[in-house]
Amino acid sequence: MASYFRDLWLGIVTILASMKVTARHFFIPAVTLQYPYERRKLEGWQGSAEKVFTRHQLEVDIDDCIGCLQCERACPVECITIETIKTLPGEDLGKTSTEHPKRLWVAKFDIDMEQCCYCGLCIYPCPTNCIHMTDNYEYSVYNKEKHLYHFGLMTETEAAAKRVQLEEAQRKEKEAKAREPKVSKPEKPKKAAPEKGSEGEA
Amino acid sequence: MMEELTRAMVQWFPFLADVPADLLLLAASVMAAVAILLLITVYVLAANWGERKVAAHAQDRLGPMVVGWHGWAQAIADALKLLMKEDIVPRLADKKLFVLAPVIVFASSFVAFAVLPFGEGLVASDLDIGLFFIIAVTSMITVGIIMGGWASNNKWSLLGAMRSAAQIVSYEIPVGLAVLTVVMMAGSLNLQEIVGAQEGGFWNWYGFPLRNPFTFVAMIIAFVGTLAEVNRTPFDIPEAESEIVAGYHTEYSGMKFAYFFLAEYADMFLFSALLTVLFLGGWHGPFGDAIPLPGPVWFLAKVLFLVFVQMWMRWSLPRLRVDQLMYVSWKVLTPISFANIFFLGLWMVM
């Protein structure tokens, strides 16, 4: 009998206690973010205003790219495809904003955001900080081909024409070399890109 | 009230004097019914929005915010959606009963509004057995619910209907006994007279513990019991969505679902109004005539407060188990209300 009344009392007390908890929550401001109308401003991991290192859409400042292919190699899902073309003998592409000399045309720089796993591993090796993540997380499209982002400087036909020009120039150089027996430049047949990367870090 | 309405009609439109009195009475009744139906509809839309807001803020959310200022028109948008939805009757359902069930459920709670006194003399039908009428008529809700659950030919619906029947039948007993204490005090079943007996201030209300502790206990019992009768949390066992989908209205869609929905909210209003009339002084203000507001305003304010308390409890308490439900009714509320009546009798004799 005593336990009956104790249970009854406990029931009343706990109901009132739970109602008190609910009543307190009526006065706590809501945590809802009204998404399409309000957006959370994303702070970069490294606090940088220009190059935001959140895990969202990748962006390449192609003018700063030296075609070192380090991001392509770092990518675990191989969503970055880069093709470079050597400069013609007389061409000077200038320097990047980080004072790295640019020695290659970056003809093709495609990022397939369909495959990207947002790991950010491509960002760290970049010697010129040209590949980075933006704070844009809303880039849904109706056509999945649109998620293949082209950052390259040339179209297919331009790249093909450039290659023909380069072959032409190399052939001429070889002929000239054949005429003069002296060997001056040993670096010609080697690929230039990997050296560039190791040179890096300004 | 009907007679006054007919007299007023004749006064405003003298050409109506030749019309037979019975016809005028019928017209007045239809007007009153339409007015109450409008009140219910507007209240249901408002309460639906209010419930979402209460639910949201109890969980630190915002609730509907897009349609109109703070989403006030969300309920209207949803009502329009319900009107336009396809009205599905399951192929193996008992079609006649399936169609009839929501009508019975809604009609039986709608009829009870006829005897609710919204203000001094503002009652559609001033029955001398008003209280008895409400309790009798609202029992019909069970019939409608069982009918709907059976006709749906769906196991969830049938389970929900059976649970609902068990629940309503169990809780009508303590509610009836709790209501009896007020009848003993007021000496009348007429709701107008019961409200009249509580005139003055809140210290004269039957729900005020210092006026009479036994009617106060009766108010708590009646509140818990009516909460169970309208299937609200923590007594939402008949429509427990985590156990039996939606209970007796699982198979209903479109307008027929809207009827059940309307009936549930109308029941909330009805039982809150009943508690207001019996225990909270009906249309009387809490400080006598100190605050000169019209009676219906006080009445609606009290009713809506009780509706809010129902919503508040919904977001505070978890659902009971069926055996706990039966325990609360038969082992707690019923014996206490019997003891209550006995001690109130002693109190009144002495």
Q: What residue ranges do the domains of chain B occupy?
A: 1-80, 85-349
Q: What is the structure's pLDDT at A37?
A: 83
Contact A172, A178 (CB under 8 A): no
Residues with Cβ within 8 Å of residue B334, at least 6 apart in sequence: B173, B174, B177
- Residue numbers of the domain that contains A140: 58-182+189-199
Residue B297: what pLDDT?
A: 86
Task: Report, as an integer, the average pLDDT of B328-342.
Answer: 90
Choose, out of B219, B316, B325, the residue to mutate when testing the contact with A (most A CBs < 10 Å): B316
- Asked, for residue A15, whether it belongs to a domain, the answer is no
- Identity at B255, one-letter amino acid code: M
- The three-state secondary structure class of B110 is helix
Interchain contact A3–B (C-beta under 8 A): no
The per-residue pLDDT for A197 is 45
Average pLDDT, chain B: 84
A19 at the B interface (CB within 8 A)?
A: yes
Q: In A, which residues are within 8 Å of B317 by CB distance?
A: 15, 18
On whether any CB of chain B is under 8 Å from the CB of A33, the answer is: no
What distance lies between CA B44 and its chain's CA centroid? 12
A31 and B58 in contact by Cβ < 8 A? no
Following CA atoms B248, B253, B255, B259 in sequence, which dihedral angle do they give, to the nearest 10 degrees?
20
Residue A31 counted as domain residue:
no
Q: Which residues of A touch B59 (CB under 8 A)?
A: 25
- Most B CBs within 10 A among A6, A27, A32, A33, hence the mutation to make, goes to A32
User: Predicted confidence band at A52 (pLDDT cuts at 50, 70, 90)?
Assistant: low
The two three-digit tokens of residue B69, written as one number:
């200022």
Average pLDDT estimate for B138-143: 86
In this predicted model, what pLDDT tens digit does every residue of A128-152 receive, in sequence order?
A: 888 887 777 788 889 888 888 888 8
* Average pLDDT of span B168-193: 87
Q: What pLDDT score does A202 carry?
A: 41
What residue type is assigned to position B152 of the chain?
S
Sort out which chain B residues have CB atoms less than 8 A from A25's CB and list them.
Answer: 57-60
Looking at residue A47, its pLDDT comes to: 47
- Reported as a single tens digit per residue, the pLDDT across A87-124 is 877 777 778 777 888 888 888 888 888 888 888 788 88
Q: pLDDT tier at A51 (50, 70, 90 boundaries)? A: low
Give percent of chain A above pLDDT 90: 4
The domain spanning residue A160 has which CATH number? 3.30.70.20
- pLDDT-above-70 percentage for chain B: 99
Min distance B217 CA to chain A CA atoms (Å): 12
pLDDT band for position A13 (cuts 50, 70, 90): very high
How many structural domains does chain A have?
Answer: 1
Question: Distance (Å) from the C-alpha of residue B158 to the closest C-alpha of chain A?
Answer: 31
Q: Quick check: is A138 in a domain?
A: yes
Q: Decide if A195 contacts A187 (C-beta within 8 A).
A: no
ipTM: 0.76
Judge: A30–B62 Cβ closer than 8 Å, yes or no: yes
Has residue B322 got a pLDDT over 80? yes
ω into B234 cis (within 30 of 0): yes
- Candidate from B54, B313, B331 with C-beta closest to A19: B313
Band the pLDDT of B10: cuts 50, 70, 90: confident
- Cβ pair A34:B62 closer than 8 A: yes
CA pair distance A117, A55, nearest whole angstrom: 9
| pLDDT tens digits, one per residue of B269-308 | 999 998 988 888 878 877 777 777 777 888 888 899 999 9
Instruction: Quickly list H helices, chain B.
Output: 2-12, 21-58, 74-84, 95-112, 130-138, 140-151, 155-186, 191-196, 213-229, 241-244, 254-279, 295-314, 322-326, 334-349
CB neighbourhood size of B184 (10 A)? 16
Q: Would you state the structure tokens that stand for residue A69, as one six-digit string?
A: 């292919």
Cβ–Cβ contact B65 with A under 8 A: yes
Q: How far apart are the first and last CA of chain B?
A: 38
- Yes or no, beta carbons of B58 and A26 under 8 Å apart: yes
Confidence of residue A189 (pLDDT cuts 50, 70, 90): low
